[in-house]
Amino acid sequence: MFLEGYGPLLLQGTKVTLQLSVLSLLVSFVIGLIGAGAKLSSNWLLRGPATVYTTLIRGVPDLVLMLLMFYSLQIWLNDFTEWQQMDQIDIDPFVAGVITIGFIYGAYFTETFRGAFMSVPKGQIEAGFAYGMSRWQVFHRILFPQMMRFALPGIGNNWQVLLKSTALVSIIGLADVVKLSQDAGKSTFRMFFFTLVAGFIYLMLTTISNGVLKWLEHRYSAGVRSADL
């Protein structure tokens, strides 16, 4: 039988891993854009907290932050509901995982986007304003598309790290591909084999993302002149 009958279960785990990664990527992407905006702002009330956020988050291991946030989120919510004299609200572990990972990698994306925004030549933005565009128009017509070209290698890197760090959610009890492969290994007494399978699934995922990233980089560098020696 395919993987001793554990094939469908592992496939389900892979789906959870992918959903978790993609949703966290979206969260961290949005946080990254906001954070980069704050860090590049001339207002220190925005710049200060954003700098503290990126420094603290990037200086502490993601697993420590996951454990810290994952359990604390629920405790804080309980305190809040008790104070408001409402019924207890249970946070879905999956949602908590997405928020936690998104919040952690938001700090890495903030730095990626900040660097990319700074790489867009000033003249481009000035030209936009000279055409009478509004701030929003300059952002989404000129700044954003060019920024993405510079940000893409960093985004790719962050994605690969994020994807691999989702393996840690099995420690906080989510039924991802690692957790399910360990369960399968325990019940069939074939730990080595099923852990290898989990590793192989991750290798497939990173290989596919590598291919997609290469294609995206090719697409976004349309019109870039490169000289051969």
Partner 1 sequence: MIDLIHDYWRAFLWSDNTHWSGVAITMWLLVSSIGLGFIFSIPLAVARVSKNKFIAWPVWFYTYVFRGTPLYVQLLLFYSGIYSLDVVHDIHALNTFFREGINCTILAFALNTCAYTTEIFAGAIKATPYGEIEAAKAYGMSRFTALRRVIIPSALRRALPAYSNEVILMLHATTVAFTATVPDILKVARDANAATYKTFQAYGIAALLYLSITFVLVWLFRRAEARWLAHLQPRKH
Q: Is 171 in the site for partner 1 (CB under 8 A)?
A: yes
Q: Out of 67, 99, 120, 148, which residue is the one contacting partner 1 (CB under 8 A)?
A: 67
Q: Is 3 in the site for partner 1 (CB under 8 A)?
A: no
Site string for partner 1, 88-127 (x = CB under 8 A): ----------------------------------------
The residue among 79 and 126 lying less far from partner 1, judged by its C-beta, is 79
The residue among 69 and 138 lying less far from partner 1, judged by its C-beta, is 69
Distance in Å, CB of 221 to partner 1, minimum: 20
Q: Out of 18, 23, 34, 63, which residue is the one contacting partner 1 (CB under 8 A)?
A: 63
Q: Is 29 in the site for partner 1 (CB under 8 A)?
A: no
- DSSP structure string for the chain: -GGGGTHHHHHHHHHHHHHHHHHHHHHHHHHHHHHHHHHH-S-HHHHHHHHHHHHHHHHS-HHHHHHHHHHHHHHHHHHHHHHTT----PPPHHHHHHHHHHHHHHHHHHHHHHHHHHHS-HHHHHHHHHTT--HHHIIIIIIHHHHHHHHHHHHHHHHHHHHHHGGGGGTTT---HHHHHHHHHHHHT-HHHHHHHHHHHHHHHHHHHHHHHHHHHHHHTTT------
The residue among 50 and 125 lying less far from partner 1, judged by its C-beta, is 50
Binding site for partner 1 (CB under 8 A): 56, 59-65, 67-68, 71-72, 75, 164-168, 170-171, 178, 182, 185, 189-192, 195-196, 198-199, 202-203, 206-207
